[in-house]
Structure 1
Amino acid sequence: MSPTTPAPEPAAFRLTFLGANATVTGSRYLVDAGSHRVLVDCGLFQGYKALRLRNWAPFPVDPASIDAVILTHAHLDHSGYLPRLISAGFSGAVWCTDATRDLCGVLLPDSGHLLEEEAGYANRKGTSRHHPAEPLYTEEDARRALRVFRPVPFDQAFEPVPGLVATLRPQGHILGASAVSLAFGETRITFSGDIGRPCDPVMRAPAPIWESDWLVVESTYGNRQHLPMAFEQELKEALGRVLARGGVAVIPAFAVGRAQLLLHMIAQLQARGEIPEVPVYLNSPMAADVTGLYQRYRDQHRLSGGQLQAMQRVTRIVNTVEQSKALNRRRGPMIIVAASGMATGGRVLHHLIAFAPDHRNGILLSGFQAGGTRGAALARGETALRIFGQDVPVRAEVVQLGSASAHADADEVIAWLRTAPRSPRGVFVTHGEPDAADALRLRIERELQWPAHVPEYGQCVDLSAAQ
């Protein structure tokens, strides 16, 4: 190269925020690395109608232009849009841990099945403005998507596209959950995914952060601390009241992680005689399948073989639709754990129709309830729920279990950030409602003295630019 020849421009390394902005759903981060394009997470939007409509809108970039997808974990707000993306033209590989692949093998087909069921119900009842109502994707679409998954072990570097080195770090939260670290040239960015809790009763603690120039951190509980009361005690008190009345305790629960935690705790409480040995039903075939994966991935959680067996021994699995309907004709006392965790769909809706109107019963909310969901309406004390076109009165006791979350709270997020070997150039705060995201931003700036920003939907950042 002659002295007068200008040096070549460094290849672009850009990040565009396509989801999880001002909401805890729809996690999607587009990374341009030179001439290649990678999507970190490919989640469904849930909650408010304006957000859910984004699932139906054309993807912001041509899906065929995306070379690879990397998943932090299997929850649908991080993986549930994949079948739609593939149907729209994405033809690359989906990279994730083995456990995430196996969980998606349960979650995605179930999601497609539920979407088909909801469309069919709307067509039969005439409750949709669209004629005919169509599912966002089908169960077969989801099964086709699973064929392009490429599992990799934790902490093993791989190249999803040439020149971009990726590593998945254990993050607790659920089986297979990881932080995603991407290195392009001299620049590294880490996506937290969903951060687990250091003292989670089931999952192991998150691994420390690798040295990074940039961090993208979740803020689900960015403005809150979990209750100091142990979850077991909180659950015991809530169940005790409902069962003493002869009532039915309906617990909407995420099939991955939350259902297993609840069943483990209920089994422990019954074994010690701290709650009555009433029937415990798991009305989610998907959650039953997921529970089996805890045997396969024993190194990722704290449960012993004996505890897993006790949990399975106590639990009665509800497999068929007929069995699910029969539960609604039973009387208490009994406990029903059913998906979905925010009462956005699934079999729990039929249990709410059956049991919410009776004051003897209880509805126990066991996790974060995103704005616009029925779970959020219950949490704020609404006296009626709109389900399948009808208004269902809510007279049952509603309890928000404040210490059940598998997400780190604000203090725990700050503690995880402190594990970074050095200060990053900046932190992007996402995956939180506006108040939570901004509260965490302020704490990062004040306590860690790191530059922090809450990005907007569609915002693009040049990661390789000097500051």
Structure 2
Amino acid sequence: MVDLTFLGAADTVTGSKFLVETAHRKVLVDCGLFQGYKVLRSRNWNPLPVDPASIDAVVLTHAHLDHSGYLPLLVKNGFSGKVFCTRGTRALCGLLLPDSGYLLEADARYANRRGFSQHKPALPLYTKEDAVRSLKSFSPQKIGKRIAVTDNCSIIFRYAGHILGAATVEMLVDGKRIVFSGDIGRYDDPLMFDPEPVPEADYLLVESTYGDRLHPGLSPQQELENVITRTVARGGSVIIPSFAVGRAQALLFHINAIRQRGALPDVPVYLDSPMACSATDLFCQHAEDHRLSAAHCRDAWDDVIYTRDVEHSKRLDTEPGSKIIISASGMVTGGRILHRLKRYAPDHRSTIVMAGYQAGGTRGAALLNGAEAIKIHGDYVPVRAEVVSLDMLSAHADQHELLRWLGGFKTPPSRCFVVHGEAESADRFRLKIAEQFGWETRVPEHGERVQL
């Protein structure tokens, strides 16, 4: 028998962790952090129901922290196996994980200095040093090649779109074929390849981030142009919270295209995130993982001002004139965007552009829901700026695109598990799959264990 345990991304959209267990082997697919509501974030501090030292291998679908960000703690707590991933994922994790550790340490120091934490002293979940140490476990692999993970388990990575290096995972374990969708990207995306179809599965775990909705059929460039033009006309700045990996590069691509058409007002564009700057460099170095050539990449980012150092970043709050600032993090959970919002959210002339999914309980979700103030560093900051949502910039497939990917299976799964979605989204998508394909489909519960 093969057992599958849902240790994360069940009834929620974060914390992806799926344990595949046979009589003699344990493989963990994804190793993500819980984000959003405090009740979810508190799970990061709870010991796993499986001893990390007993896990033989980890397989990552992609580098976003809700899929990879728990790895430093797993290694710290005893995991000593290999972490299998694509080359693009390894490159991005080399940025994301140490940065995550650094921010966790910085947040703990700030909380102790300001005294607003309930814990005395506040401690980081893990450190930058823990994250750097975990990178030694990585074993980057080619997409499309069958890879032996253990003596009874092998995998194939296929392009998922979404971000650099993102992949679906087809796992063959003790004769059973289990497919993990990871996060499915958009079709006809100007940067990323289309999600690659998977021919067959005995069991399928499919994400449902946007399983209950469709992206607006609007041009992201036209909408961005409209927002920038009206904001600059009233003397404000455009502040865009952005995931450093994937979303930031897409935003730069679209802003550059607007500039090339001569439609961009004469304002500077700042990429206010050291990690986003480095991720943009990596995007150019891994041209095999996306549609753009290395030369096209360099041209697209040519007029962008990178603010890598802290002092340059701080000056953005005092420099006169309108500007466009792309800053991490995408759901406003930490990083430099907090400082930018403290300065620009109270400014009625400015605009905050939400350019992707916002998990419940995050500041990003609060902004989208019309919050009059958001709590930053223990203080409430009034929100007087215009807040705009540009869902069409999302790197996640919507319901129609997810169904299109599911339609690629020549041999349908005997069971389908809908994961990585808020409860309403997951359940609506479950019903849609059952209605359209007639598959046995259900939404698992957190911590649930099933026999395959």
Under TM normalisation by the shorter chain, which class is it? over 0.9
2:399 to 400, 406, 410: 410
Q: CA separation in 2, counterparts of 1:82 and 1:331?
A: 42
1:361 aligns with 2:350: yes
Aligned to 1:197: 186
Task: Note if contact 1:33-1:164 (Cα within 8 Å) is conserved in structure 2.
Answer: no
- What letter corresponds to residue 269 of structure 1 in structure 2? I
Please report how far the alpha carbon of residue 104 of structure 1 lies from its aligned counterpart in structure 2 after TM superposition.
Answer: 0.2
CA distance in structure 2 between the partners assigned to 1:47 and 1:210 by the alignment:
35
Q: Are 1:234 and 1:403, in contact at CA under 8 Å, matched by a contact in 2?
A: no
1:391-437 per-position Cα deviation (integer Å, ceiling 9, x unaligned): 10000000010200111000000000000011210110000011110
CA distance in 2, matches of 1:352, 1:220: 26
Where do residues 269-308 of structure 1 align in structure 2 (5 Å cutoff)?
269-308=258-297
Which amino acid counterpart does residue 426 of structure 2 have in structure 1?
A
Q: Helix, strand or coil: the match of 2:47? A: coil
Is residue 348 from structure 1 mapped to residue 344 from structure 2 by the alignment?
no
1:35 deviates by 0.8
What letter matches 1:62 in structure 2?
A: D
My pick for the range that moved more, 264-273 or 400-409, is 264-273
Q: Counterpart amino acid of 2:218?
A: M
Q: Given residue 435 of structure 1, which amino acid in structure 2 is its aligned partner?
A: E
Which piece of structure 1 moves more, 261-270 or 236-245? Answer: 236-245
Tell me which residue corresponds to 2:106. 117
Bigger drift between 213-222 and 183-192 goes to 183-192
- CA distance in 2 between counterparts of 1:436 and 1:141 reads 35
Q: C-alpha deviations, 1:146-185, integer Å up to 9, x for none? A: 0010011111111211111111111111111011111123
Query: For each residue in 1:190-248, what CA deviation from the matched residue of structure 2 results, as whole angstroms up to 9, or x when unmatched?
Result: 00000011111211101111311111000000000000002111211122221111211
1:181 aligns with 2:170: yes
In 1: Cα distance, 2:273 partner to 2:174 partner: 46
- For 2:97, the equivalent position in structure 1 comes to 108
Counterpart-to-counterpart distance in 1, 2:356 and 2:320: 26
Q: Distance in 2 between matches of 1:238 and 1:30?
A: 44
Point out the more displaced range, 324-333 or 186-195: 324-333
Residue 419, structure 1, aligned to residue 408, structure 2 = yes
Is 1:150 the counterpart of 2:139 in the alignment?
A: yes
Deviations 1:441-462 (A, max 9, x none): 0010001111110000011111
Larger Rg over CA atoms: 1
Q: Provide, for residues 273-300 of structure 1, a one-character-per-residue CA deviation record: whole Å limited to 9, x for no partner.
A: 1121310000111111111112221122
Runs of 5+ in structure 2 lacking a partner? none
Unaligned stretches of 5+ in structure 1? 1-11
Q: Match for residue 372 of structure 2? A: 383
Q: Which residue of 1 aligns with 2:436?
A: 447
Are the equivalent residues in 1 in contact too, given 2:31–2:69 (CA < 8 A)? yes
User: Could you tell me which of 10, 29, 38 is aligned with 2:18?
Assistant: 29
1:259 pairs with one of 248, 253, 262: 248
Amino acid at match of 1:96: C
Q: SS where residue 363 of structure 1 aligns?
A: strand
Contact in 1 for aligned 2:277/2:308 (Cα 8 Å): no
Determine helix, strand or coil for the equivalent of 1:395. coil
Contact in 2 for aligned 1:360/1:397 (Cα 8 Å)? yes
**Is residue 2:316 matched to residue 1:327?**
yes
Is the 1:66–1:90 Cα contact (8 Å) retained in structure 2?
yes
Amino acid at match of 1:203: M
Instruction: Find the counterpart in structure 1 of residue 58 from structure 2.
Output: 69
Q: CA separation in 2, counterparts of 1:370 and 1:45?
A: 10
CA contact (8 A) 1:179 1:190 kept: yes
Q: Are the equivalent residues in 1 in contact too, given 2:20–2:27 (CA < 8 A)?
A: yes
Report the TM-score when normalising by structure 2. Answer: 0.98
1:93, 1:149 within 8 Å by CA — same for their partners in 2?
Answer: yes
Identity %: 54
Q: How does 1:178-257 map to 2 (within 5 A)?
A: 178-257=167-246
8 Å Cα contact 1:172/1:178 also seen in 2: yes
Does the 8 A contact of 1:247 with 1:331 survive in 2?
no
Q: Distance in 1 between matches of 2:137 and 2:38?
A: 30
Is 2:447 the counterpart of 1:458? yes
Amino acid across the alignment from 1:72:
T
In structure 2, what residue type is equivalent to 1:206? Answer: P
Query: Out of 68, 82, 91, which is 1:93 matched to?
Result: 82
Aligned residue among 103, 116, 120 for 1:127: 116
The separation in 2 between residues aligned to 1:355 and 1:200, in whole angstroms, is: 31
Instruction: Pick from 29, 41, 44 the counterpart of residue 55 of structure 1.
Output: 44
Check whether the contact 1:248–1:331 (CA below 8 A) recurs between aligned residues.
no
TM-score, structure 1 as length reference: 0.95
For the 8 Å contact 2:2–2:174, the answer to whether it is kept is no
Q: Distance in 2 between matches of 1:180 and 1:32?
A: 16
CA–CA distance in structure 2, aligned partners of residues 188 and 84 of structure 1: 29
Q: Measure, in 1, the Cα distance between the counterparts of 2:84 and 2:119.
A: 35
State the 1:374 CA deviation: 0.1
Q: Is the 8 A contact 2:104 2:124 kept in 1?
A: yes
Contact kept? 2:285, 2:294, Cα under 8 Å: no
Q: Output the aligned Cα RMSD.
A: 1.0
Deviation at 1:103, TM superposition (A): 0.4
- Cα pair 2:4 2:450 within 8 Å, conserved: yes
